[in-house]
């Protein structure tokens, strides 16, 4: 077990949680009619408990920890006309749907326009950390997308920020309607992205260029 994955949770507390959850999950398997003593299932409650703690480890993390490392872009004319955006696209994520506890996985694309006064920017990898942090919670995709832009707005105070997420929900794939190829798109805009509709078009143009390039 790698406790480094749980920076805010002590190893003792982690073990304690696993110990408490295991008998409950054993019960669930029994209620499904399973023999929990058979070889294939004997360690399943423990693995399942650890997996659940892993899927939700972002609950105990604060986005501030990733957005603290902030650079000031000291170029005189930057950003030029408050329309130059920083884009990180194709951030992969896997999250857990809170209605069915089934995974949903996909990609996030984020752009922000730095504040012309503060000129604050963050490391590009930090944006994927923020996506990861909100993905590792029991989620609905729409809320996750909003939380991503809110965290960026709160900590970087940009002129504007936009996030688009696209995901496949396994609660739809595996059960009920069995739609294997549908994906869900959700967007969140803040700041100048709300007041200037041209900016969203620009963002989409940049994403299209990236997608075309990725074909080579």
CB of residue 171 to Zn ion, shortest distance in Å:
3
Q: Which is nearer to Zn ion, 100 or 119 (CB)?
A: 100
CB of residue 106 to Zn ion, shortest distance in Å:
14
CB of residue 185 to Zn ion, shortest distance in Å:
16
CB of residue 142 to Zn ion, shortest distance in Å:
12
CB of residue 102 to Zn ion, shortest distance in Å:
5
Q: Which is nearer to Zn ion, 43 or 99 (CB)?
A: 99
Instruction: By CB under 5 A, name the binding residues for Zn ion.
Output: 97, 99-100, 171
Q: Which is nearer to Zn ion, 170 or 206 (CB)?
A: 170
Q: Which residue is closest to Zn ion by CB?
A: 171
Helix/strand/coil (H/E/C) assignment for every residue in the chain? CCHHHCCCCCHHHHHHHHHHHHHHHHHHHHHCCCCCCCHHHCCHHHHHHHHHHHHCHHHHCCCHHHHCCEEECCCCCCCCCCCCCEEEEEEEEEEEECCCCCEEEEEEEEEEECCCCCCEEECHHHHHHHHHHHHCCEECHHHHHHHHHHHHHHHHCCCEEEEEEEEEEHHHHHCCCCCCCCCEEEEEEEEHHHHCHHHHHHHHHHHHHHHHHCCC
Q: Which is nearer to Zn ion, 14 or 170 (CB)?
A: 170
Q: Which is nearer to Zn ion, 41 or 171 (CB)?
A: 171
């Amino acid at each position: 077990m790698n406790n480094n994955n749980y920076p805010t949770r002590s190893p003792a507390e982690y073990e304690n949680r696993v110990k408490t959850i295991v008998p409950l999950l054993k019960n669930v398997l029994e209620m499904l009619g399973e023999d929990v003593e058979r070889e294939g299932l004997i360690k399943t409650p423990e693995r399942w408990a650890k997996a659940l703690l892993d899927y939700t480890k972002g609950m105990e993390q604060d986005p501030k920890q990733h957005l603290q490392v902030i650079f000031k872009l000291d170029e005189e004319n930057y950003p030029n006309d408050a329309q130059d955006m920083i884009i990180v696209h194709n951030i992969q994520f896997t999250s857990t749907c809170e209605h069915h506890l089934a995974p949903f996985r996909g990609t996030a694309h984020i752009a922000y326009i730095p504040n012309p006064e503060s000129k604050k920017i963050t490391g590009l990898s930090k944006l994927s950390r923020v996506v990861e942090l909100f993905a590792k919670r029991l989620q609905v995709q729409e809320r996750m997308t909003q939380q991503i832009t809110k965290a960026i707005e709160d900590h970087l105070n940009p002129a504007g920020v936009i996030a688009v997420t696209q995901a496949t929900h396994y609660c739809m794939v595996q059960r009920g309607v069995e739609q294997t190829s549908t994906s869900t798109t959700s967007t969140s805009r803040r700041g100048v992205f709300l007041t200037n509709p041209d900016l969203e078009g620009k963002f989409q143009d940049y994403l299209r260029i990236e997608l075309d390039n990725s074909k080579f």
